[in-house]
Amino acid sequence: MKILITDGIETSGADILLNAEFELTQKALTPNELLDVIGAYDAIIVRSATKVTKEVIDRGKNLNVIARGGVGLDNIDVEYATRKGITVLNTPKASSISVAELTIAHLLALGRFFPISSIAMRHREWPKKEFSQGIEITGKTLRIIALGNIGSEGAKRALGLFMNVGAYDKYVHTTDIPGVKMVSKDELLCLLDYITLHVPCDKEAGPVIIREDFAKIKNGVILINCARGGVVNERDVLDALNSQKVAFAALDVYEHEPPRQDEYDLIMHPRASGTPHIGGSTIEAQDCVGIEIAQKVAAALHAYSHENAFA
């Protein structure tokens, strides 16, 4: 059986598929090139760059498996693929620790002016006085939106930093993490110092935090989004920074990636920290992603082959 890998895979993952005697093609393709070749493959493995649209699925006459090495599935038309009987896979746990650690890195960096002071130092400046009002995180209140794999890992690390941790989750109302308090959304917005988001983007529902929510939050909150672009409106975040309702903001994800030129006002803000969607970009996470997605794809294709053998 033939597998197309368009956005790369770690050697550890590729070896699993090769040892299982699948035929691999690893190649970056334009959307039109993908349409031209997809019909020859039984499975496709992508990351975030390749879009598996309805048209791609229709052209994939032999497709049985669509796999995304990563958490989100927003670049795959999951509903249409499922209706066509195609198995859709992802790796929801493989990069959880890496994304959680990046969240904590932003959390620590913002209150100590790391982004802007580092830039100043590179310009041969010595802004010791300007950045003398840092913030300790010990004893501060962190609120986490969504306590899934990443949110849970972030909560554990925040507890280790002696923060007061609470979480709001639309679907989860209890937790077995000692020290984490589940709260309602209204409670979430009260008396917090930090807020982190770890939810998928629901384009129909819109942002999880809207402009009216910012009005309920106390002045000086620190906001971190390492989830998905669109879960909070970037213009609202910029306005909240300018009004000092939000003291600092960090983003690893954006509504458009890469951001459009007119969207850099937020990223360039002196009290903002931006990273280019690198939450899962660690050596360890990439290796885990490659292994997990390869194992899942191999199992799914073997199951499909077995079913057809006895059909």
| Catalytic sites, residue numbers | 228, 257, 277
Cα separation, 139 vs 145, whole angstroms: 19
Quickly list DSSP for 120-160. Answer: HHHTT---TTTT------TT-EEEEE--SHHHHHHHHHHHH
Q: What is the dihedral of CA 235, 236, 240, 245, to 10 degrees?
A: -170
Quickly list DSSP for 189-233. Answer: TSS-SEEEE-----TTT--SB-HHHHHHSPTTEEEEE-S-TTSB-
Quick one: residue 230, left, alpha or beta (phi over 0 = left, psi -120 to 50 = alpha)?
left
Q: What is the dihedral of CA 75, 80, 85, 86, to 10 degrees?
A: -10
DSSP-assigned beta bridge partners for residue 45: 5, 67
**Given strand 2-5, what is the order of strands in its sheet?**
23-26, 2-5, 43-46, 65-68, 87-90
